[in-house]
Structure 1
Amino acid sequence: MNLRLLVHLHGRARLRKAVLLLERIERERKSDDDARAFLDELVVFLVSDGESGEEVRSAARAFAAECAGTEGDWLRAVNNLRHRLMALSGQPPADWDFIAIPRETAPGIAKRPGMRVYLEDIRSPYNVGSIFRTAEALGFEEVLLSPECADPVHPRAQRTAMGTIDRLPWRRLSLEELNRMEGVFALEVGGTPIGDYAFPFSGIMVLGSEELGVSRHALECCRSGKVSIPLVGTKASLNVASAFSIAAWAWLSYSPPADARHICS
């Protein structure tokens, strides 16, 4: 990376190119001498160049002040500079502009084999991508999609999923096929409160569309019942991806009562 990529650009085009270069540093987790040298040059350029407005100069100076020498603080300063320049370029950040930082798996928590989720007619690629991201994080084995569900390869779904669509198996599945499977239950209003529901050890959680919820035909496939999240607000409504996050964690962490474990054994 070098400043020649920026010198011949002007105005917002220059800022947007700087944003892309900063994004590359963040995505590759660069903290080597070359990356630091480039950023030192970038700060000097932004502060001294005649085209830079006072807000751009202020952002560059703030970056220099935030750099503390350690990788964590340094990358946070890069992140702050990227978002400041993005805002100054007139490009508000979208959810897919955020960069997911790799994290270690939490100790003491094991995957529950056989956890799958069925997305019935979910129309928003953003919601599909968000569900994939949560499903992968919580150890789901597979995502099943109805024929009318939004496509996971849609660019917005891909960006929201943060790379998890390539890691998690998925396929289309009709209700007829779903009806032949075991352990199928719905996340839907009017069901057993989540704190009282006996989750199957393995099975399929059915999520309904954003507007109409789980269809009557899909509910007929849910021989393991319905689970609901009790809500106390006046709106009493959750985004489907948010509701899935709550229910998926409850399923992963569910442990049947001791008497139920004794019966099963």
Structure 2
Amino acid sequence: MKHIESVNNPKVKQWRKLLTKKERDKTESFIIEGFHLVEEALKQGEQLLEIIVSDQVGLPPRWDVSSTPVTLVTEEISKLLTETEAPQGIYAICRVPSKMGEALAQEGKTFLLIDAVQDPGNLGTMIRTADAAGIDAVIVGHGSVDIYNSKVLRSAQGSHFHLPIIRGDLHEWIERLQGKNIPVYGTALEGASEYTDISSGESFALIVGNEGNGVAKDLLSSTNSNLYIPIYGKSESLNVAVATGILLYFLKK
């Protein structure tokens, strides 16, 4: 086990850079924080590159880290790696999945497509919900927050290690899915059917969109059908992550 004590150590500087999207894209790697996320990465195994732990924190004895490099750091260094107010003192460096993830996604039958969702808490919750609902893959389109943003990772609670999450062109994916006879449903307030009017099958794709503007009109014009959730109270709309959960579970039933 290595032990780093200097905040000026090159490895520390490199880890800190992973808090930026630019560095994550450049190195095709990302940093996660907290016991739960690190344990999920350890279970998945293939993406985990290194565990970093504060010398004030111990590794759980149930963890098998025999094949994983572990670096011990000072509490001062640990605090440089966090973006939370109450850090747990444990981190991991993970690699972005290879193109194999996209190949696995193309074999799926159920999909969540996300258009320009910018709130990291919403995106992470939607990924976690798709995982819970047994969706085969999540496709995140242009204009959305980075899928490896630290708040997205925390909100998703480890679901990044459970199913393919792919950054892609939604127009291309709609065409690809419809070419496989998978119906694509958009979400809209106008010109749409109430979601309970749809008879879902084994295969489907659902598109949800930006918090303020919804799904882009050019995407809605390409769907098989567009759906809405009725509002019975005085609220103007539902939170996009909540709406996603309602629709995914209905379509999946």
TM-score bin, normalised by smaller chain: 0.5 to 0.7
Distance across 2 between alignment mates of 1:114 and 1:207: 17
Deviation at 1:170, TM superposition (A): 1.4
Gaps of 5+ in 1: 1-22, 29-90, 94-112, 254-265
Is 1:196–2:197 an aligned residue pair?
yes
Letter in 1 for 2:198: Y
1:235 maps to 235
Aligned with residue 152 of structure 1, among 147, 155, 158: 147
Aligned with residue 125 of structure 2, among 118, 130, 137: 130
Distance across 1 between alignment mates of 2:149 and 2:35: 22
Distance across 2 between alignment mates of 1:155 and 1:134: 18
**TM-score normalised by length of structure 1:** 0.52
SS in 2 for 1:147: coil
Contact kept? 2:113, 2:170, Cα under 8 Å: no
1:252 maps to 252
Deviation at 1:200, TM superposition (A): 4.2
Distance across 1 between alignment mates of 2:85 and 2:187: 34
Matches within 5 A, 1:1-265: 114-180=109-175, 181-182=177-178, 183-190=183-190, 191-222=192-223, 224-253=224-253
Bigger helix fraction? 1
Letter in 2 for 1:209: N
* Structure 1 segments (4+ residues) deviating >6 Å: none
Bigger strand fraction? 2
Q: CA RMSD in A?
A: 2.5
Seq. identity, %: 25
Distance across 1 between alignment mates of 2:152 and 2:158: 10
SS in 2 for 1:123: coil
Distance across 2 between alignment mates of 1:203 and 1:24: 35
Distance across 2 between alignment mates of 1:231 and 1:206: 19
2:19 maps to none
Deviation at 1:158, TM superposition (A): 0.4
Deviation at 1:236, TM superposition (A): 3.1
Gaps of 5+ in 2: 1-33, 40-83, 87-107
Contact kept? 2:139, 2:170, Cα under 8 Å: no
SS in 1 for 2:186: strand
Letter in 2 for 1:177: E
Distance across 2 between alignment mates of 1:136 and 1:175: 20
1:229–1:154 distance in 2 versus 1, CA, 3 Å? same
1:175–1:163 distance in 2 versus 1, CA, 3 Å? closer
1:24–1:169 distance in 2 versus 1, CA, 3 Å? closer
Number of residues paired by the alignment?
149
Letter in 1 for 2:206: M
Contact kept? 2:117, 2:144, Cα under 8 Å: yes
SS in 2 for 1:204: strand
SS in 1 for 2:196: coil
Letter in 1 for 2:246: I
Letter in 1 for 2:249: W
Distance across 1 between alignment mates of 2:215 and 2:200: 18
1:143–1:204 distance in 2 versus 1, CA, 3 Å? same
**TM-score normalised by length of structure 2:** 0.54
Letter in 2 for 1:249: Y
Deviation at 1:167, TM superposition (A): 1.4
State the Cα deviation string for residues 109-159 of structure 1 (Å, max 9, x = none).
Answer: xxxx61101100000111110001100001000000112111111000000
Letter in 2 for 1:245: G
SS in 1 for 2:221: helix
Letter in 2 for 1:211: G
SS in 1 for 2:123: helix
